[in-house]
């Protein structure tokens, strides 16, 4: 996953996709989020569960522990290592879901500039990505160190031709289980490792190279180039 995504629907569209009956504590604007070309460090809508309430907050995409000052905050965490490595140990228990509409990858096709592809669900439903992070809690204020990372896994099938890594995407019932603090850590690791949606769930197509400039925003970035469907 190359670190660019879209999150343009309204928060209630994402809540509906999650199908969670819990009361919502929403600190996100009610209007469509309108992020068609979100880059690392962007404040993105994030779901987490606290005191049996679903919380929707804007949290920075990217996180690093306080001692890792020699590198930029990663935006992704490899599922094979995230549960046991020291880097994400502090936030592994703090599970969240990042609802997105799709993400971008860049492919070297022999031209001076790599060709961007947009990836979304074939049914165009919201994508529920497994994440972990440090985010606002009911009993404390926001902190400068707040942030999250998206968990990624190996790609499979035709998606390998686009990129070798992809987000761990969970079906709604599994996303609810992932969010539940009562879910044991071993079960959470199993969900991330083995229960992500298969590559066949998604479709991908070429889009304008204008997406390479993060200042470019708008729904036109998501339009397929003619004849580019995969």
Q: Is 186 helix (H, G, I), strand (E, B) or coil?
A: helix
Distance CA 191, CA 176 (A): 11
Q: What are the residues whose beta carbons fall under 8 Å from the beta carbon of 150, sequence distance 6 or more?
A: 1, 61, 75, 76, 77, 98, 129, 130, 131, 167, 168
Total Cβ atoms within 10 A of residue 213 = 9
Distance CA 33, CA 11 (A): 7
Which one of 80, 105, 111, 220 is the catalytic residue?
A: 105
Q: Is 105 designated active site? A: yes
Q: H/E element holding 189?
A: helix 185-194
Report how far apart the first and last C-alpha atoms of the chain are (Å, whole number).
Answer: 18
Q: What are the residues whose beta carbons fall under 8 Å from the beta carbon of 208, sequence distance 6 or more?
A: 116, 220, 221, 223, 225
Which one of 2, 50, 189, 197 is the catalytic residue?
A: 2
Distance CA 145, CA 153 (A): 25
Which phi-psi region, left, alpha or beta, contains residue 99 (left: φ > 0; alpha: ψ -120 to 50)?
beta
Q: Is 203 designated active site? A: no
| Nearest residue to 33 via CA among 23, 22, 41, 42 | 42
Among all residues, which ones are annotated catalytic?
2, 105
């Amino acid at each position: 996953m190359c670190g660019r995504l879209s999150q343009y629907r309204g928060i209630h569209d994402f809540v509906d996709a999650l199908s969670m009956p819990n009361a919502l504590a929403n600190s996100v604007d009610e209007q469509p989020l309108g992020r068609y070309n979100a880059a690392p460090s962007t404040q993105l809508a994030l779901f987490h569960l606290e005191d049996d309430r679903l919380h929707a907050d804007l949290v920075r995409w990217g996180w690093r522990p306080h001692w890792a000052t020699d590198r930029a905050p990663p935006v992704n965490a490899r599922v094979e290592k995230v549960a046991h490595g020291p880097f994400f140990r502090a936030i592994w228990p703090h599970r969240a879901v990042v609802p997105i509409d799709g993400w971008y990858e860049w492919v070297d096709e022999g031209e001076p500039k790599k060709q961007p592809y947009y990836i979304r669900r074939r049914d165009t439903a919201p994508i529920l990505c497994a994440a972990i992070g440090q985010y606002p809690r009911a009993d404390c204020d926001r902190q400068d160190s707040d942030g999250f990372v998206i968990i990624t896994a190996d790609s499979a099938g035709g998606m390998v031709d686009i990129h070798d890594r992809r987000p761990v995407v969970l079906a709604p019932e599994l996303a609810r289980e992932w969010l539940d603090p009562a879910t044991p850590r071993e079960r959470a690791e199993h969900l991330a490792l083995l229960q992500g949606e298969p590559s066949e769930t998604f479709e991908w197509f070429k889009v304008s190279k204008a997406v390479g400039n993060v200042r470019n925003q708008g729904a036109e970035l998501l339009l397929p180039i003619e004849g580019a469907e995969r």
